[in-house]
Amino acid sequence: MAILKFRVYWEEDDAIYRDISVKHTQTFADFHQVILKAFEFDQKHDATFFRSNDIWVRGREISKEVYAKEYKAPPLMMEETLIGTEIIDTNQHFIFLYDFAKSWTFLIELIQVVKNVDADMTLDYPLVSRIEGVGPMQYGTKGLLGPKFADIEEKYDLAEAADGYGEEGESDAHTSEDGGLDDEEEGEDEEEDSNDSSEDSSSEFFDEEAY
């Protein structure tokens, strides 16, 4: 028996990956489940593996089930196919496609083969041995403030108050009690009158002194 260690990359960012170790006698169904668990995805959607070469060309499928589509060759079934039977070389590649509607794609590379004498057989395989990067969110993004913020928002109606501060006193902000302008606005009006008069005098100066 041997332990196979794979590095599973998210196709859109190879800095995001998970190292997964499996027994060579385990099936692709086991591999499928641990990949989804490693990236915190559910298991509600269709899925398939592809054999692949070094430049990620898709070959024969190892599928969760036979889907209503055209195949170049009949697919192998995940439940029936042992991982070890598909290892052709020490740098074996696979592609994992999940949820055909959204096409979540993961690139898989065999990075280590540990023989039985060196393997820790007390561990529960398959297992995730390394996590790098924050994985993609299957159904959108998580709120940074956590789920409790929704309760706070509903309780205090934060969305309705987003356009201003409170309701009381808003209509009185710029008027005094007797309905007139407050001191600040009166000062602004006086300043405008002063500016108007200075503009008139400067206009007369240029009319008389200009060459």
- The sign of the CA dihedral 104, 71, 94, 127 is positive
- Give yes or no: residues 115 and 193 share one domain: no
- The HSE-up count of residue 1 (CA atoms within 13 Å, CB side) is 10
Domain that holds residue 45: 2-132
My answer on whether 205 and 116 are in the same domain is: no
* CATH code where residue 60 lies: 3.10.290.30
Q: Of 95, 110, 132, which closes a domain?
A: 132
CA dihedral 41→42→45→46, nearest 10 degrees, is 60
pLDDT at 189: 54
Structural domain count, the chain: 2
Place of tokens 């979540």: 104
Q: Is residue 151 part of a domain?
A: no
Instruction: Identify whether residues 115 and 47 lie together within a single domain.
Output: yes
What does pTM read for this prediction?
A: 0.66
Q: Is 158 part of a structural domain of the chain? A: no
pLDDT tens readout for residues 148-170: 444 444 444 544 444 454 445 45
- Render pLDDT for 58-109 as a digit per residue (tens, 0 to 9): 999 999 999 999 999 999 999 999 999 999 988 999 999 999 999 999 999 9
In a domain, 119, yes or no: yes
Please report whether residue 163 resides in a domain. no
Q: Is the predicted pLDDT of residue 27 greater than 60, yes or no? A: yes
Question: Could you read off the pLDDT of 107-158 as tens digits, one per residue?
Answer: 999 999 998 778 888 899 999 999 999 999 999 754 444 444 444 444 445 4
